[in-house]
């Protein structure tokens, strides 16, 4: 219990660390948007601006040895679990120094050493493998948890339902983290789900323990994620963590968001988790500037690192097809 108490009593210092991490993710993704628009980044990119508290809160509560799978919106989870910004940015530039060595890109970020078993570009596609990892932890009696991140859109896929059913049936060590950002690409929750205002009802159907949390409050996310992870780790069964967050930007970089009203975007800005945490901590302008400068340096350093990275040889495309 002592450990749990300690984990949940967050000091202002710890919260400042969270703020720094969230700001780093925000500025990193803004830089990614900027560099993509400048034509420097190949491919298809999705940012999760507005969802940083959900990412940092859950990832901070995870322990070494825990594994996770993410979505096409994975920069935040990857950074929050300790992948160096340089390695992430290098991946987005398609360099060998990237966290997937240039084979993956933004939608396929891996870092096995830090438990990242892959961001997935198929909505819902990664969930079953986290049930399998959780099953392996159970069979081997290991105190580890497999964390599946997904959005509200994924709750309508077959893999989601089969995965929840199987995980609950077999009591695997899996934590399902539903980052309900209220949008499935351009489709709002009310158009795609009969339970869009309470995703935890999905878990109810499988008799799975669920926990709901305000995903724009990192302190609460951390507390609820810790509770959920403890539960799963103890072998009590999987948990559905219903994180209510908000996607402040478009589905992809360059999305004109014709489907979204100005009022909606204004409302989004009011739910900014970083502004919220800054106000809570009463960060002075001076301290804020210091933080901004530090984060700016890290992000610029990552771009510099990535640009100076090594391009793969074309024929490297034929490597890594088989083990």
Partner 1 sequence: MPELSYREAVRDALATAMRADEDVFLMGEDIAEMGGSMGVTQGLYEEFGSERVRNTPISEMAIVGAGIGAAMQGMRPVVEIMYEDFLTLSLEQIVNQAAKHRYMSGGQIKVPLTIRTQGGAGWSPGAQHAQQLEAWLVHIPGLKVVYAASPADARGLLYSAIYDDNPVIFFEHRLLYPVKGDVPETLEPIPLGKARVVREGTDVTVIATGPLVHRALEAARVAGAEGISVEVVDPRTLQPLDTDTLVDSVKKTNRAVVAHEAVTRMGFGAEVAAVLQEKAFDWLDAPIERVGAKFAPLAFAPAMEQFVVPQPADVLAAIGKTLGRA
Q: Out of 57, 134, 215, 273, name the contact with partner 1 by CB under 8 A.
A: 134
Q: How many CB atoms lie within 10 A of CB 237?
A: 18
The end-to-end CA distance of the chain, in Å, is: 43
| Footprint on residues 76-105 left by partner 1 (CB under 8 A) | 98, 100-104
Instruction: Please state whether beta strands 116-119 and 67-70 pair in parallel, antiparallel, or not at all (unpaired).
Output: parallel
User: Contact 126/69 with Cβ under 8 angstroms?
Assistant: yes
Is 205 a binder of partner 1 (CB under 8 A)?
no
Is 322 a binder of partner 1 (CB under 8 A)?
yes
**Residue of 132, 96, 138 whose CA lies nearest to 117:** 132
We find the least distance from the C-beta atom of residue 203 to partner 1, in angstroms, to be: 16
**Nearer Cβ to partner 1 (133/221):** 133
Is 210 a binder of partner 1 (CB under 8 A)?
no
We find the least distance from the C-beta atom of residue 159 to partner 1, in angstroms, to be: 5
CA distance 171 to 238: 6
Which of 15-23, 55-63, 78-86, 122-130 is the region at the interface with partner 1 (rule: CB under 8 A)? 122-130
Is 236 a binder of partner 1 (CB under 8 A)?
no
C-alpha dihedral, 114 to 117 to 122 to 128, nearest 10°: -130
**Nearer Cβ to partner 1 (158/194):** 158
**Nearer Cβ to partner 1 (133/225):** 133
CA distance 194 to 40: 41
User: Which residues make up the interface to partner 1 (CB under 8 A)?
Assistant: 67, 98, 100-104, 108, 110-112, 117-118, 120, 122, 125-137, 139, 146, 158-159, 162-163, 165-166, 169-170, 319-323
């Amino acid at each position: 219990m002592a450990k749990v108490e300690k984990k949940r009593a967050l000091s202002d210092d710890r919260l400042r660390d969270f703020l720094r991490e969230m700001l780093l993710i925000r500025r990193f993704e803004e830089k990614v948007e900027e560099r993509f628009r400048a034509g420097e980044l190949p491919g298809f990119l999705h940012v999760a601006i507005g969802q940083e508290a959900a990412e940092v809160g859950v990832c901070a509560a995870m322990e070494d040895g825990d594994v996770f799978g993410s979505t096409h919106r994975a920069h935040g989870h990857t950074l929050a679990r300790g992948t160096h910004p340089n390695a992430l940015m290098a991946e987005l530039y398609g360099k060998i120094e990237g966290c997937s060595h240039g084979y993956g890109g933004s939608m396929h970020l891996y870092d096995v050493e830090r438990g990242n078993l892959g961001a997935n570009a198929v909505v819902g596609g990664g969930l079953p493998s986290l049930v399998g990892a959780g099953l392996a932890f159970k069979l081997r009696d290991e105190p580890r948890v497999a964390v599946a991140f997904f959005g509200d859109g994924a709750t309508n896929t077959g893999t989601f339902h089969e995965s929840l059913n199987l995980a609950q049936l077999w009591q695997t060590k899996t934590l399902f983290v539903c980052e309900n950002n209220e949008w499935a690409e351009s489709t709002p929750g009310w158009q795609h789900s009969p339970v869009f205002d309470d995703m935890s009802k999905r878990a109810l159907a499988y008799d799975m323990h669920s926990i709901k949390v305000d995903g724009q409050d990192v302190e609460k996310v951390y507390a609820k994620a810790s509770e959920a992870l403890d539960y799963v780790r103890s072998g009590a069964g999987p948990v559905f963590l219903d994180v209510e967050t908000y996607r402040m930007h478009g589905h992809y970089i360059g999305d004109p968001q014709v489907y979204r009203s100005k009022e909606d975007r204004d409302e989004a800005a009011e739910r900014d988790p970083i502004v919220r945490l800054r106000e809570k901590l009463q960060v002075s302008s001076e301290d804020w500037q210091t933080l901004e400068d530090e984060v700016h340096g890290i992000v610029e350093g990552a771009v510099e690192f990535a640009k100076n990275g090594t391009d793969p040889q074309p024929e490297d495309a034929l490597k890594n097809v088989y083990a």
